[in-house]
Amino acid sequence: MTVTITHPGAGLLAPALDTLTDVVAGDWASVARLCAARLKDAKTCGFDLDVVAVRAGVVRSPRQTYDYQVHHRFLVVSEHPAVLCAALDLYVQLWLGRWDTLEQVAPVRTRPIPGWRPLELLRARARHQLPGTWPEESADAEGLSQAPPTARLAHHILTSLEGGSASPLYDVPAGPAAVHVT
């Protein structure tokens, strides 16, 4: 199956697929790279996220990439729409500060260290975030109306793929995207 997204910012959503690939492969530091603009030091945050991943029982595996192409106003994803939905949902959740979502995506291959809790992901985010980016240790960090434009666009496309209509509570930069599944 192929999903074609037509929008001036469509290419900005390609990192969503790369982040899903990284997280599934056990590379939680990719979240720090994705959200680097909102962190004091993305490299240090990435190291902390890798430590949290080990505590959660996540083991790194080979990275299996998803098939997509970026064109001027198009993102063409040659995968099942469910893969794109998973990538966009994770992308939106991470930009909203809900980093505890990681533990629901990454396959656990060993037993977590006793005492492991998903709250550790939110604490790692809170330690490294720049002031005013997300509320401290909150799973419900911010709404879509205050999210970066790419997160709002990702949510709009995710809603379209799932058969709903975009929320009037936020603006989509450059207008709505066209989503076509073949």
Q: Where are the domains of the chain?
A: 3-181
Give me the DSSP letters along 55-116: HHTB---------EEE-SSEEEE-S-HHHHHHHHHHHHHHHTT-GGGHHHHSPB-SPPPTT-
In this model, does residue 166 exceed pLDDT 80?
Answer: no
Closest CA relative to residue 38, chosen from 122, 134, 103: 134
Percent of the chain that is helix, strand, coil (3-state, to 5): 45, 10, 40
Write out pLDDT tens, residues 108-152. 778 899 999 999 999 999 999 999 888 765 544 467 877 889 999
Write out pLDDT tens, residues 55-71. 999 989 999 899 999 99
